């Protein structure tokens, strides 16, 4: 999970577009649900 968080942080730095931020948040949220269900 730590690597995933770091990856999101790096993507966040590279892309400051609001639409991209929403996309990243959605990906992070989905990843978190998968982590809770299967992790």
How do residues 2-36 score in pLDDT, each as one tens digit? Answer: 777 777 777 766 666 677 778 888 888 888 888 88
The pLDDT of residue 39 is above 70: no
Q: What is the pLDDT of residue 26?
A: 87
Q: What is the pLDDT of residue 16?
A: 63
CB 11, CB 23: distance < 8 Å: no
The pTM is what?
0.42
Q: What is the pLDDT of residue 23?
A: 82
Higher pLDDT, residue 37 or 10: 37
Residue 4's nearest CA partner among 36, 38, 37, 27 is 27
């Amino acid at each position: 999970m730590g690597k995933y968080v770091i990856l999101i942080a790096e993507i966040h730095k590279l892309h400051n577009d609001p639409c991209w931020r929403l996309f990243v948040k959605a990906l992070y949220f989905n990843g978190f649900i998968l982590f809770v269900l299967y992790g």
